Amino acid sequence: MGSSRETLGLVRCLRNCIKHVLMTIRVSQVETADRPLKVSMRR
């Protein structure tokens, strides 16, 4: 039953990748929408 564990790990990796992509897209949208807000958040 090691294959099931491998598939579970792959699913987790895919989920992490999707989350990262969504976050980057959201950040880029925020940058285009209001940049001063992002600058204040960086501090």
pLDDT of residue 16: 96
- How many Å apart are CA 33 and CA 37, to the nearest integer? 9
The pLDDT score that the predictor gives to residue 22 is: 94
The amino acid at 36: P
Please name which of 16, 38, 42 lies closest in space to residue 26, comparing C-alpha atoms. Answer: 38
pLDDT digit string (tens) for 1-43? 568 888 999 999 999 999 999 999 988 887 776 666 656 666 5
